[in-house]
Amino acid sequence: MDILVYIFFMAAIFILTSICILAARKNVLNNGVWINAEVVKSVHLAMSARRGGGHYYFTVFKYSVDGHAYETTYQVGSRKPKYEDGEIVEIVYSNKNHKKIAIADDKTPTIVSIVLLSVGCVLLALGIFFSII
């Protein structure tokens, strides 16, 4: 495969992934329902050395909607637990899927999106540059 095709393909993947993350988060934050949820626990996940190693913690929240109890794991992990067990945190859940949540003050998804968009733009610029010369 021609290297330029590969560069343009990777640029498109990075840029589209960034846009999808931001759009999904914005949709939940703008159209979701804000409630207080209780932190049940932080689930520890140790990555194998083959996958880069490291330890990640994912927060499990408990909340109730229309009399139904939900327990959901927030899909954005961190290197150390962000919240204490029993702590009350304001979350937003999706009207369409009550288990899909976002935390308004968590900037991690935005930072990840900006990094992905930046890498995609650099790859796109490199692809354009090398296709011209």
Determine the average pLDDT of the residues in 105-115. 93
- Domain carrying residue 64: 3-132
109, 94, 106: which is closest to 35 by C-alpha?
Answer: 94
pLDDT at 8: 95
Scanning the structure block, which residue is given the tokens 């988060």?
Answer: 25
% pLDDT > 70, the chain: 95
- Per-residue pLDDT of 63-81, as tens digits, reads 999 999 999 999 898 888 9
pLDDT at 104: 82
Amino acid making up residue 104: A
Q: Which helix (H) or strand (E) holds 124?
A: helix 108-132
Rounded to the nearest integer, the mean pLDDT of the chain is 91
Label residue 59 by pLDDT band (50, 70, 90). very high
In sequence order, what are the residues at sequence separation of 6 or more whose Cβ sits closer than 8 angstroms to the Cβ of residue 119?
Answer: 14
pTM, entire model: 0.78
Number of domains in the chain: 1
Q: Cβ(99)–Cβ(70) under 8 Å?
A: yes
Residue 35 has pLDDT above 60, yes or no: yes
Determine the average pLDDT of the residues in 16-36. 93
pLDDT at 1: 52
Whole-angstrom distance, CA of residue 114 vs CA of residue 118? 6
